[in-house]
Structure 1
Amino acid sequence: MRIESIQTEPTLFRRSTPPEIELSDMDWAERIRYPRIVFGLFESEKMIGITSMLLLNKEEAYFGQSFIQPQYRKLGLSSLLYKIRMGWASANQLRKLTISHREINVISEAAIQKAGFHYSHKELVQWLDGTSGYSMYYSLFL
């Protein structure tokens, strides 16, 4: 699903080292191990979306790598991805959540703000499409 996301929306994801397309199954298994928590979004048995959170320490996590297949967008499903991550964060007594989006991604910006996050700062980064631009960061204190 991650490869599908970066192939579908290459303008919205950061470059990774090594490029994710080159990773083996073993590399992927390592990447999704704790302290990363990965959640899938399903229609019956079919995975239609994915999201994750990376635990930074005992009190803080970074929300990232969200994707919903294009045909399932605009149905309000992204709220489920926020709900499952926030539920996990609350159950595990996290205190602070951080999330970011590419400056031009106004859809993510709206979803992030709707979930209760507040702007904190921006950072110049290299994007998967070969351009550089700002990543906008937001925080939420629980």
Structure 2
Amino acid sequence: MQMEERNLSVKSGIYVIRQLEESEFLLYKDMRLEALKVEPAMFRVTVPPETEITDNEWQERIKEPRAVFGLYAEDVLIGITSIILLDHEEAYLGQSYIKKVHRGKGLSSLFYKIRMDWALAKRLKRIRVSHRESNLASKAANQKFGFRYTHTEPCKWQDGHSEDVLYYVLDLI
């Protein structure tokens, strides 16, 4: 029996992560823009800049081929993460952000768990992830889940600096 991706949720103590509904795109937009403002060093430059896209475009970004998950502390949104289908076999993990006050509590494991569950429900063969070379917390998180390094590319980041991005893959099958 195939799992329904929309009903996925993971709970840990006061924290719950679940897929955001299309009608909740403004929650995604607000948290994503906060992430870009607060942590520009963690996100790549996008074209067009996300600060310039319309609400209609934000709404499209929460629909398949992407799934966006909201992390809640009780009923307050404190983080987001996403997964985007690359094709019928692969997906890419990205856009992870947790408000600073909630970091260091192992919550990134909820991000990995929910996205891996989603990928498995889609019967994907592999998932990919990347991080800024100096982002050792992201490296540790993906290594914990068994991702293996594939390659490095140069990258321009939201903070205006250039630094390599490291890519990893995890085979699910």
- Give the TM bin, normalised by the shorter chain: over 0.9
C-alpha separation between the residues in 1 aligned to 2:61 and 2:69?
Answer: 14
**Equivalence map 1:1-142=2 (5 Å):** 1-142=31-172
What residue identity is the alignment partner of 1:7? K
* RMSD, aligned α-carbons: 0.8
Instruction: Number of aligned residue pairs: give it.
Output: 142
C-alpha separation between the residues in 1 aligned to 2:60 and 2:121?
Answer: 24
C-alpha separation between the residues in 2 aligned to 1:104 and 1:127?
Answer: 12
What residue identity is the alignment partner of 1:53? I
Tell me how far 1:32 sits from its aligned partner.
2.1
Instruction: Work out the percentage of aligned pairs sharing the same amino acid.
Output: 53
Deviations 1:66-106 (A, max 9, x none): 00100000011110010000011111111010000000101
Could you tell me which runs of 5 or more consecutive residues in structure 2 were left unpaired when the two chains were aligned: 1-30
SS at match of 2:35: helix
C-alpha separation between the residues in 2 aligned to 1:90 and 1:31?
Answer: 21
C-alpha separation between the residues in 2 aligned to 1:31 and 1:78?
Answer: 22
Q: TM-score, normalised by structure 2?
A: 0.80
Which ranges of 4 or more aligned residues in structure 1 deviate by more than 4 Å? none
C-alpha separation between the residues in 2 aligned to 1:106 and 1:133?
Answer: 14
C-alpha separation between the residues in 1 aligned to 2:103 and 2:66?
Answer: 25
Could you tell me which runs of 5 or more consecutive residues in structure 1 were left unpaired when the two chains were aligned: none
SS at match of 2:46: coil
What residue identity is the alignment partner of 2:133? E
Q: TM-score, normalised by structure 1?
A: 0.97
C-alpha separation between the residues in 1 aligned to 2:39 and 2:146?
Answer: 25
C-alpha separation between the residues in 1 aligned to 2:52 and 2:130?
Answer: 25
Residue in 1 aligned with 2:25? none
C-alpha separation between the residues in 2 aligned to 1:18 and 1:92?
Answer: 30
What residue identity is the alignment partner of 1:70? K
C-alpha separation between the residues in 2 aligned to 1:139 and 1:109?
Answer: 12
C-alpha separation between the residues in 1 aligned to 2:158 and 2:63?
Answer: 23
